[in-house]
Amino acid sequence: MAKSADVAKTAIQSQKEQILSRRYIEGLIADEKHVIIFENRVLKVDAWIKFHPGGDKSIKHMVGRDATDEINALHSKEARQRMLSFQIGRVQGVWLNFLPPIQGGKFRPYNDETCFEEDSSSGQETSQPPSPVFDAVDGKGTLRRRKSTSTNTSVSTPGSDDEFEPKPFFLDARTQEEIVFDINKYPSLDTTSQESIRQKYRELDQRIRAEGLYNCNYFSYFIECCRYTLFAGLSYYFLHLGWYGTSGFFLGCFWHQLVFSAHDAGHMGITHHFHVDSVIGMIIADYLGGLSLGWWKRNHNVHHIVTNAPEHDPDIEHMPLFAISHRFLTSLTSTYYERVMTFDAAANFLLRFQNYLYYPILLFGRFNLYVLSWQYLLGDQAPKKGPAWWHRWFEIAGQVFFWTWFGYGVLYRTIPDWNSRVLFILISHMVTSPLHVQITLSHFAMSTADLGVHESFPQKMLRTTMDVDCPTWLDFFHGGLQFQAIHHLYPRIPRHNLRRTQKLVLEFCRDTGIPYAIFTFLDGNKEVIGRLGDVAKQVRILEECRKSCAQQGVFSDHH
């Protein structure tokens, strides 16, 4: 029996080491298998995807791609080791990414008629992203029109009524302009250049580990806890004095600071232990703040993989309130929310003033987070099996606890009248608005251009994310979110080590030629408002074009 078991084990191991062709892998994906490449290993993760604590969307965006850097950045050593159980083979050489099905990639079934075709020809139609109207074909900004085979996943929404309506050319021209700008500004997208960047990025990771920057400074968290206690204590003190506005102010400060530690825990940046950090994060987010950590992780993991992609990144999908790209004006379909982000009458009106509405809307951003949290917990999004099966129930208990102490204990039992209650609610929630500004600040003004599936992970993160420059003594106010570019490169580095890591990342950027975007808080806000104002202007131009077409016909002299 033991000998038979050894033979079977050897056979399985031999099967895992077999070399799989690109054409065969394309066939697996055509059969709706979830196949990703990790360190030249081929992983088929269908059995795991519904148990993934970070949700299924983040995995789906990696199908057909070399996900080595994304996996290493977002997962612990133990999680990466468990992934090897899903290995079905290996690939040789540099893997050329397919476009994942969730992003519009098309794949041919593997059968007797096609299995002997050249691997070099397979996936050529699917290896380019469907989002830009124009495709980059070299590093010099030369462009060509997208082939008709992929127009059904381009800027126009599939099946929409306005698919057959003429769109002003300036939208297409704007897409072309943004792609050309990024191609000329950033390193070449050729395989050699991007592989060199990947290798230097991985070497930097080893240097960061050697310098101990993944090790958490627990004394820094002791200081954080002292600050939390001070704000909570002041809120409690003024609440019993009857100074409800002042009490609400300090409660808002308490929530504002707590979120930074919940963010750390969600990335396993405190103890680096999945369950311990998850419990810490859920206690902070759910029990003390009324927000779902599970919802945030599902949302945030996708954001870290497809940063600033209009169709895919939920962190920039705020229609009809905000649009940071002209491409939202074409009623894109969100792959995260699985719905059309309609450019309707409400969006047409609101987006014209979005640069003026930016701060007023963010004052009340926390109310939207409550809604999203409950949609997640009461819906079908949370893992029901696997290591995080119990998180949903622990979070629901946390929500009950939060609304008991905050809703019943504070608002109903302690505050005597509705005027004071409304004042308390508004002030406590408005005080947290700098957090929402901080989150949007790092991405709203950065590139939303899609340079294709061959762009390396580190280059994409630095192209779509900015850092905020501030003095060291203000780090507590920004909570580590001022180092978003560095955080996107290495999400599991504890935030108290990000300032030290910044020096190493600057060296990496100088070595690779990747621009490093950093602005002061004031200048960063100016950039965001400028971007919002630019899109608002495009909305007005689009409306003028539509009015002209309606009045004079499609072939009018209006330009």
Dihedral sign, CA of 75, 79, 84, 86?
Answer: negative
Tokens of 265: 């825990």
CATH superfamily of this structure's domain 12-103: Cytochrome b5-like heme/steroid binding domain (3.10.120.10)
**Below-50 pLDDT ranges, the chain:** 116-166, 555-556, 558-559
- By the 8 A CB rule, do 350 and 321 touch? yes
pLDDT at 9: 58
Strand partners, 318: 322
Confidence (pLDDT) at 77: 86
Helix axes 457-464, 498-512, angle to 10 degrees: 110
Is the torsion defined by CA of 450, 456, 457, 458 positive or negative? negative
Q: What is the pLDDT of residue 153?
A: 33
Q: Tell me the two tokens of residue 491.
A: 């999400």
- What does the block give as tokens for 451? 């340079």
Q: Strands 134-136 and 143-145, how do they pair?
A: antiparallel
Contacts (Cβ under 8 Å, ≥6 apart) of 211: 500, 504
* pLDDT for the residue numbered 543: 80
| Angstrom distance (rounded) from CA 322 to CA 146 | 28
Instruction: Enter the tokens of residue 418.
Output: 């509705």
- Whether the CB-CB separation of 81 and 499 falls below 8 Å is answered with no
Question: What type of residue sits at position 245?
Answer: G
CA dist 460 and 427 (Å) reads: 38
Residue 415 Ramachandran class (φ > 0 left, ψ -120 to 50 alpha, else beta): beta
Report whether 533 contacts 355 (CB < 8 A). yes
pLDDT of residue 124: 42
- Alpha-carbon distance of 387 to 63, in angstroms, equals 22
Q: 528-559: b or e for each residue (b if 16 or more CB lie within 10 Å)?
A: bbebbeebbebbeebeebeebbeeeeeeeeee
Q: Which pLDDT score is estimated for 13?
A: 67
Distance between start and end Cα atoms, the chain: 80
Q: How far apart are CA 267 and CA 483, in angstroms?
A: 15
pLDDT at 119: 47
Sign, Cα dihedral of 193, 141, 98, 70: positive
- Whole-number Å distance between alpha carbons of 38 and 84: 9
Cα angle 438, 441, 443; round to 5: 125
- Cα distances from 168 to residues 474, 541, 545, in angstroms, run 46, 9, 7
Q: What does the domain layout of the chain look like in residue ranges?
A: 12-103, 191-521
Closest to 396 in 3D by CA, of 408, 404, 387, 385: 404
pLDDT in tens, 325-374: 999 998 899 999 999 999 999 999 999 999 999 999 999 999 999 999 99
Cα 195 to its chain centre, rounded Å, is 23
